[in-house]
Amino acid sequence: MMSRLWIGVFLILATVCLIAAPVAAKTVTLVGEVNDNQQIVADNEIYEVDHNAAGDDLVLNYIAQKVKVVGQLKVVVQSDGSDEYKLIKVESFEVVEE
């Protein structure tokens, strides 16, 4: 009887964590350069760019240009826990004159 209660509590907590995970993304503004690996380098940090229309346009057409990017940032952890990286879903961007 008691073990069923704990299993139920665990399942509810696991469900809440899975639902809350997308909320963990936060809106950020980055100023950096698009490299030829289809990433943004800003303040010596590398940001992977999520695939959407704005992100694909950015990394394919603005290589080696300085850009200001607004988007949703998430830290993604590999499934085995060995590595993590920063992923930005681009909402908008503009080229910055140097």
At 21-64, the pLDDT tens digits run 444 678 999 999 999 999 999 999 999 999 999 999 999 999 99
Cβ 16 vs Cβ 55: under 8 Å: no
pTM above threshold 0.75: no
The amino acid at 7? I
State the Cα–Cα distance between residues 62 and 16, nearest whole angstrom. 39
Decide yes or no: CATH 2.40.50.140 for domain 25-95.
yes
For the chain, what are the domain ranges? 25-95
